Structure 1
Amino acid sequence: MLKTTHHLTFCSDAKDVSSVLQEILVTLRRSNIVPRGDETKWVRFWNKYNQEADEYDREFLERYKEDMSTTMIFSGLFTAVTATIASMSISNLSQDPNLFTQILLHNIFVSLNNTGEFIQMDMPLLPWTGPSKSVIWSQTFLYLSLVCSLLVALGAVLATQWLSRYKAVDERGSVEDRGKRRQQKFDGLQAWGFRIFLEALPLLLQLSLLLFGISLCAYMWSQQRFIAGVLMFVNAFGGLLWVYTVVVSTIYPESPYDTPLSDFLQASAKRARKAATSNPSTFNAARIQITTYVFHFKYGYSFPF
């Protein structure tokens, strides 16, 4: 009886081990870690391609989704602030409705207290000729800033949707078909300048901040010159600091102040150097022509036309 029990236990353990080994074999057959002997070189190529593409897409999506989320939140808050200030200052574009009432009440008071036959109004009602130039400029820059921030918010929402669609994976078809569809999506990103669109949104938001600062300076210039001077100094300092980061990151690519604008300037400088190297005669002729014009302008000679 004891031998029978041990035999049954051994058989059950053998069955468990066999089932586990079968599961391991099935897992290895389905995985891409160990290449199968019956696979062709193209299947192995597309398996490797999908692994590399998944890693690249994961980093690409994490980077730009985080950037779009931050841009969307900041643009939403900035739009709310700009819209509030615009609603408070929009009355400056039209005539004050209380001015006519104040002048009329003042003239009535003067006429009631004047017992003479000839009554001369103390405050004449002058015709309104429109808002001042400072008000027009401040409102122009303010509403331009509001429109730019709204466009940034819209662009961030659309970009988030496009990134989600790019992330969607189609499980139908073979490994080669899935790899080709992914490559088609990636080629579309490159052909239609999707990265340029994503990186242009923060630049548009920075332009909106610049316009908002200019509008504040223009508005305060008509109200109080000292406050306007302080605002102009702070805005100029911020603008110079931004220009410094762009110039430094353009000249020194290893600097931490890298921005999309500096990347664009670096690429433009590389293309210009490449064009100058490939066709030096044209650039030398242009340089000689510019030097000649500068020399004639400096010493008062006539231009050789």
Structure 2
Amino acid sequence: MSERKGVSDGYHTSKYDNPSAKLWSVYLSEARKYDKALAHNWKGDMDAILIFAGLFSASVTAFIIEGYRNLSPDPNVPSLALLAQISRQLAMVTNTSTPLMEPIPKISTSAEFSPTTLAVVYNILWFLSLSFSLVCALSATMVEQWTRSYLHSSDRRPAPQDSARINAYLFQGIEKYGMSAVVEAIPTLLHISLFLFFAGLVVFLFPVNATLGSIVLTMFVICCGLYFLITFLPIYYLDCPYRTPGSFICWRILQILGLLQYEDADGIVKPLTGSMSDAQDLAATEVTLQRHERDLKAMSWAIKALREDSELEPFIEVIPNVASGADYSSKRLLLRLLHHQDVNIRLDYRIPQLLATCNSGVLDAALSQKRAVTCLTAIWSITMISMPNEINLVSDSARSILRFSEDTLGMLYTFQVELPTVREYIASTATVVARGLLDMHMNRIKAFQHKLIGLIHARETMSTTGSEISSASMCESKCTQCTPRQQIIHSLRRQLETLKLYLIKRQKMTIAMPYVIMETIAQHHTRLINMLGDSSNHLDMYLLHDVLNSLQVFEVSLNQAGFSLALEYIQNILSSSSLPYEAFNTVRRAVFKIDCNLQIDHSSQSLLVEYLDEIVERERTCESRKVPLNIIDRVLGMTRALNDPICVNKAKGIINRLSRITPRDAAMKALTRLDAELEMGDDAPLELFTFHLYTDVRIAK
């Protein structure tokens, strides 16, 4: 009985117990995937070559059988000549009127035969064609055999470390001896065989029929031209799918001559190194405007193909990772997909539509909650993407950079009631969406102011003196009563007052209503500024003054709205049993663009002090519901908006108490700012008692 495999060949099973086995298993797993893919590609190519080479060789053989006859004398020619001579002699014998006998023609022999030049040429071409075809078939067969041997040799040892080392040894041999180049060269043999056959066919047909030979020659020349075209085309156009084996040879020659260059993203011309595949990879992945357009086209096709909600959900699920990553191009792609012209592609429509399916009653509770969380985190992440040079001071395009509209806020408010299990996600998402709407309106105000400055400068160059402009505009303004312009101004003032009352009543800032009012105000401003721009000779100074004043009032209201939004989110943090989703980043986003130099109403300042007091009290007494320190730092930063002496004194006492519990740099900076605020304003001696109380103890409410 034969010995067991692994013993007879000297392989010892004790080597199995190697600590590095798992380490090499990782390499072996990846190597086997690569080897199988490589072998599959080679086998597919060689199988196709074998089939074509076999059929082509049979066809060439048929032509050779017909053509090689012209290389030797026809054995029937002497017999025919002899019969013809006998026939003539018999005719002369029977015909007595012939006075003389005709000379007997000389019968040619095989030694005197000489084939024509054309016959020699096309036979040479055809025999060469057959030879190249057979060599190609033999090479393809050998490649398949080598591939099988390589795969078998890599897997013949059971120990991972041994199999991995054998695999690496053999693979390095493949690279060392250029087996890939050999495999790529095999189709070249078949191409040469085809060209030789066509050339021989042309030479063969011309003596038979010049017209037929000319037609075949024309077709042959056209095919050669196309062949050379597709040989050089992928060298200069790397995305071209057409290529021949000669393309790689020409690529290498041009590379050696230094004729292959490319221009990088910085405009620097560099030589192309590496193979044609490396150059393709570089052209496909280098950050260029063309790559951005390709990415958009490819991803648009992918999203449009995701027709089912279950197919779209995995795509939406990866958006937070993309948005939080460092790849600028991917973030830019997300924002372009957000406002795509095709409604089946644009994410600001597809994501809310997917979110709407969560309360349709079709999904069970677990799947509904998972999908809702996926959509909410995607909306939050997209809204939080920060891109440089995104703000464009053109009021008409202000909404073009808006991530999600007022409709999204309305949907989120509805879901807050219908899906209470995801309330923490809804609170954070609604806050950043609302902050995005406020930022849009702030950018509009800057655009309006920029446009008004341009109008003033333009009109100054067209007028003689500023006093003439002012007097003319005043006269005209006094003469216009109850015009559409006046109606817009009255409506604008009413809307500003409505927004102010809404903020005073401290109603929710994460619903659509206040932002609808803001949009109406912005539209009124747009119409009034357009009227100013339509004035042909002068500016209406009364109208200009009204617009500037209303813009200032609107800016203060927007800043107040942002402060109220931040307070509302802080209240959510304090009232929630668990911390909302991405609470710190949401707070940071909510307070980032608050202008503390603009006036904040007294009730908001008092509420901030109250929330700060509760945060410090939790820090002192409650271990389980403490507010994270980074959020506390952001709340301390909001104290820059305090200018009411009572609130300032209370805040100082609270912060002093916090400093004794947890010393913070943010607390020291806040105290410094508050001291400076008190020095700038009037002293409030009656509140010193309150200050000392807040320094030591929290007053019960």
Q: TM-score, normalised by structure 2?
A: 0.33
Q: SS where residue 69 of structure 2 aligns?
A: helix
Alpha-carbon distance in 1 for matches of 2:244, 2:151: 25
The match for 2:127 is 143
Task: For 2:219 and 2:259, locate their aligned partners in 1 and report how far apart those are by CA, in whole Å.
Answer: 40
In structure 2, which of residues 101, 117, 120 is the aligned counterpart of residue 133 of structure 1?
117
Residue number among 55, 66, 88 corresponding to 2:44 in the alignment: 66
State which of 233, 251, 258 in structure 1 corresponds to 2:236.
251
More helix by share: 1
Q: Aligned partners of 2:259, 2:166: CA distance in 1, in Å? A: 35
The code of the aligned residue for 1:105 comes to L
The residue identity in structure 1 corresponding to 2:149 is R
The residue that corresponds to 2:136 in the other structure is 152
Residues 1:237 and 1:274: Cα distance change in structure 2 (over 3 Å): closer
Compute the displacement of 1:121 (Å): 4.5
Report the CA distance between 1:275 and its aligned residue: 11
Shift in CA distance, 270/48, structure 1 to aligned 2, threshold 3 Å: farther
Which residue number corresponds to residue 69 of structure 2? 91
Aligned residues of 2:22 and 2:160 also touching (Cα < 8 A): no
Partner of 2:195: 210
Q: Using the alignment, how far apart are the partners of 1:253 and 1:52 within structure 2? A: 29
Query: Which residue of structure 1 aligns with residue 212 of structure 2?
Result: 227
1:252, CA displacement in angstroms? 1.8
Give the structure 1 partner of residue 661 of structure 2: none
Counterpart-to-counterpart distance in 2, 1:236 and 1:122? 50
* Equivalent position of 1:185 in the other structure: 170
Identify the residue that residue 104 of structure 1 maps to in structure 2: 82
The 1:48/1:259 distance shift into structure 2, 3 A limit, reads farther
Q: Residue 14 of structure 1 corresponds to which residue in structure 2?
A: none
Quote the offset at 1:105 in angstroms: 1.1
Report if aligned partners of 1:111, 1:121 keep a CA contact under 8 Å in 2: no
Runs of 4+ in 1 over 4 A off after TM superposition: 121-124, 274-278
Task: Give the Cα–Cα distance (whole angstroms) in 2 for the partners of residues 261 and 49 of structure 1.
Answer: 35
**Partners of 2:22 and 2:133 in 1: how far apart?**
48
Shift in Å, 1:253: 2.1
Residue 118 of structure 1 aligns to which amino acid in structure 2?
Answer: L
Tell me the residue number matched to 1:119.
101
Q: Is the 8 A contact 1:249 1:259 kept in 2?
A: no
Distance in structure 2 (CA, Å) of the matches to 1:84 and 1:219: 14
Residue 410 (structure 2) aligns with: none
Q: Specify the structure having the higher radius of gyration (Cα).
A: 2
The partner residue of 1:52 within 30, 39, 60 is: 30
- Determine helix, strand or coil for the equivalent of 1:273: coil
Unaligned runs of 5+ in 2: 1-17, 262-269, 272-701
CA RMSD in angstroms comes to 2.5
Alignment-mate amino acid for residue 74 of structure 1: F
Pick 1 or 2: higher relative contact order, CA cutoff 8 A, min separation 6. Answer: 1
User: 1:242 deviation in Å?
Assistant: 0.6
| 2:170 alignment partner AA | K
Structure 1 pair 275/258, CA: closer, same or farther in 2 (3 Å)?
closer
Equivalent residues of 2:50, 2:141 under 8 A apart:
yes
Q: CA deviation at 1:264?
A: 3.0
Per the TM alignment, residue 255 of structure 1 is displaced from its structure 2 partner at its CA by 0.7
Deviation at 1:259, TM superposition (A): 3.2
Q: Across the two proteins, how many residue pairs are aligned to each other?
A: 240
Does structure 1 conserve the Cα–Cα contact (< 8 Å) formed by 2:254 and 2:260? no
Shift of 1:215: 0.7
Matched to 2:100, the amino acid is: F
Could you tell me the percent identity over the aligned residues? 26
Letter in 2 for 1:82: V
More divergent stretch after superposition (84-93 vs 120-129): 120-129
The one-letter code matched in structure 2 to 1:119 is M
Residue 33 of structure 1 aligns with which residue?
A: none
